[in-house]
Amino acid sequence: MAEQFQTVDPIITADALSSKRRLRDLPWWLFALFLIAIYVFFAISANEDYNAAFVFIKTGLIITIKTTLISYSIAIIFGLLAGLGRISKNVVINNIARLYVELIRGIPILVLIFFIALVGVPVLVNWLNDFGFWLSDNGVGFFGKLFTAVTNQDISMITRAIIALAVTYGAYLAEIFRAGIQSIVKGQMEAARSLGMSYGQSMRYVILPQAIRNVLPALGNDFVAMVKDSSLVSVLAVRDITQVARLYAGSTFRFREAYIVLAVMYLTMTVMLSLLVQLLERRLKTHE
């Protein structure tokens, strides 16, 4: 037995081992996803039923992308403000930020979308309108018009959906920003303040650039999550790809084609974005 082991060339063994390890480390899951996508793409180009479904559903793609991008951009601003509020020493600001974050995170996104779009926005607009009429009645018609110019009928469902997603994601991003800011060591703020910089200046020039760099991967992951959650706006009859797919399936009874195409469209977007985030993460690490 011992002799048998000795006949094995150690270099070959090492090579075999490492190639085995290389095989094991390959991203097989990605290949599998890729195969599924290829299969569906093939079906779309070769099969009439799949093709018809795709042609119909892709009309919602612009809405999905637009909703995601605009909501996310606004959510970044809400998140940054609320994140700064969460670490503020001012009791009022701190509590308002905390209330916003806890309130939103304690309610399912679907419920929030219904609530904000169908209750929050109309009530707020009514208040503003009433305030405008009150101003007009009291002789300041010019300012009154500013508040009565926009009525609930003018605010489309897609705008409400974007507001709802932005408000919701703002609360989640706030916690990312807060954690990012708190991950910067205390000495950085002290050094900046010791040079005479104000709190705001220190935040802007010293803390936030470092904090945001640290949280970029987390922000990227939430962007991917937002792509998926944008499908929830379909409950407001906004014609994103999910809504369009539902309409298509409902009218043609081709459920399988509709939802397979829909799922692969989301997958294509999310997997590509996730890979980009991973790439970014790796680049940030090597540049540290």
Q: Which residues bind another protein (CB under 8 A)?
A: 187-188, 190-199, 201, 205-206, 209-210, 213, 288
Three-state SS at 65: helix
- Choose between 21 and 285: whose C-beta lies nearer to another protein: 285
Residues with Cβ < 8 Å from 271, sequence gap 6 or more? 30, 33
Please state the closest distance from residue 205 (CB atom) to another protein, in A.
6
Q: Closer to another protein by CB, 109 or 197: give it.
A: 197
Q: Give min distance, CB of 196 to another protein, in A.
A: 3
For residues 58 and 241, what is the distance between their CA atoms, to the nearest angstrom? 7
- The distance of closest approach from Cβ of residue 118 to another protein in the complex, given in angstroms and rounded to an integer, is 44
To the nearest whole angstrom, how small is the minimum distance from the Cβ of residue 213 to another protein? 7
Give me the residue label for tokens 């195409």. Answer: 261
Closest CB to another protein among residues 77, 195: 195
Which is nearer to another protein, 27 or 209 (by Cβ)? Answer: 209
**Structure tokens that stand for 196 in this block:** 């005479």
| Beta carbon nearer to another protein, 87 or 212 | 212
Smallest gap from Cβ 207 to another protein, in A, equals: 10
| Nearest Cα to Cα of residue 259 among 226, 223, 224, 234 | 234
Instruction: Please tell me the distance from the alpha carbon of residue 258 to that of residue 219, in angstroms, as a whole number.
Output: 31
Instruction: State the sign of the Cα–Cα–Cα–Cα dihedral 6, 8, 14, 16.
Output: negative
- The rounded distance, in Å, linking the Cα atoms of 232 and 122 is 20
CB contact at 8 A, 134 and 128: no
